[in-house]
Amino acid sequence: MSDKLIDILKITDTDPNPLQTNQLKNKAMKVENMISPRGNSIPNQLILTSDSKREFQSYDSKIVSIDFESGKVTLDRKYWNHSNTTSKYRNIFLNESSKETESKILSGEYKLSNLN
């Protein structure tokens, strides 16, 4: 992980928790397990979809949130790169490599926030 990315992670997050801010907007949330290339359900790796966003959750931690209206991608500050397993399925969800994700964080295209 680059020094600049480490500095970004150290910044105090002042954004409100998007889960609290958008609670009233989301009437229904569809929850489904990720599916492997072989067509099998992957335990503990979830895709959550509502009218306004799509999210990836690994075990009990939300990792990525994509806002449909703005296209904004937000990753959880603490868990976005938590483990090899989390990274593997985050990469599948975002359809990109860890290096691409890190570059997008550094460029400001992706935001880091507290999703949990």
The model's pLDDT over 48-102, given as tens digits with 9 standing for 90+, comes to 999 999 999 999 999 999 999 999 999 999 999 999 999 999 999 999 999 999 9
Sheet containing strand 110-113, strands side by side: 30-35, 41-49, 53-58, 61-67, 73-76, 110-113
Total domain count for the chain? 1
Element spanning 38, H or E: none
Question: Between β-strands 53-58 and 73-76, what pairing exists: parallel, antiparallel or unpaired?
Answer: unpaired
Q: Could you tell me which residue, 19 or 42, shows the higher pLDDT?
A: 42
Residues of the domain holding 8: 3-113
CA distance linking residue 83 with residue 81, whole number of Å: 6
Contact 112, 106 (CB under 8 A): no
Verdict on whether the full-model pTM lies above 0.85 = no
